A = this chain, B = another copy of it.
Amino acid sequence: MIQGPSDSPGVIDLLGLLAYAELGSFFRLAADAGLAPSLRSKGQLAALAAAEQAHYQTLRDRLEELGVDPEEAMTPFVGPLDAWHARTEPQSWLESLVKTYVGEGIAGDFYRKAAALADEETRTLVEGVLAETGRAEFVSETVRAAVEEDPKLAGRLSLWARRLVGEALSQAQSVAVARPDLAALLAKDPRVSEDGTGLGDLAAVSRMFASLTDRHSARLEAMGLSA
């Protein structure tokens, strides 16, 4: 078993959370791919799904290397992530695109920020797993084109994006309560640890989310939506 900060409980939580998120992305992409209209797009989505599975495998292998049971590390996050997806079931193709872009965008920023507070090996691993797959551009351009064609979509999809973030924050809060080590890792960021609310680590998650708004706004703008 490797010693050092990379097997701290907060880092194990981060890796477990990310592993389950990648496994979930695999299933959603595979399901979407099965419904894709052409043989070519089916194949492309299958390749994206396989890339998520490879990320999952990388995280799983790392957890095992750290002497941790991967399923045990993932289990605390099954409930919150499944709940987020259940509460944000898209009702249309455009809603599902916005969900992918906004949801994976903010989750990715969140994981990257958390990893930046961990040891270097964890940071490199997480950045590799979150590397851009080229999907973001495809999604933002498709949504933007749809909104330009039918401007009244903008209001509805902007509300949808707000709901996605609200539900994510709500689940992140419940994770922070259940996983104090992960919350403590986030609270290491000097920008979020001094807040005067007296809530300490628990408030760190909210402030972490608040600190992600710049990139979130840029994504909304790329889709032609407003915050």
Contact = CB atoms under 8 A, between A and B. Distances in A.
Given A39-B75, A40-B71, A78-B39, A46 B33 contact: no
Contacts of A75: 39
Interface string A17-43: 000100100110011011000111011
> Chain A binding site: helix, strand, loop or mixed by DSSP?
helix
A74 interface: yes
B54 A50 contact: yes
A31 to B, nearest CB: 7
A13 B156 CA distance: 48
Contacts of A74: 39
Nearest to A60: B43
This protein's copies in its complex: 2
A26 B60 CA distance: 21
A4 to B, nearest CB: 26
Contacts of A34: 27, 30-31
Contacts of A42: 23, 27
A223 interface: no
A40 B47 CA distance: 22
Given A27-B42, A30-B34, A49-B53, 11 more contacts: A20-B39, A23-B39, A23-B43, A38-B71, A39-B78, A43-B60, A43-B70, A46-B56, A49-B49, A50-B50, A50-B53
12 contacts: A26-B50, A27-B42, A30-B31, A30-B49, A31-B34, A38-B71, A39-B71, A39-B74, A46-B56, A47-B57, A50-B50, A50-B57
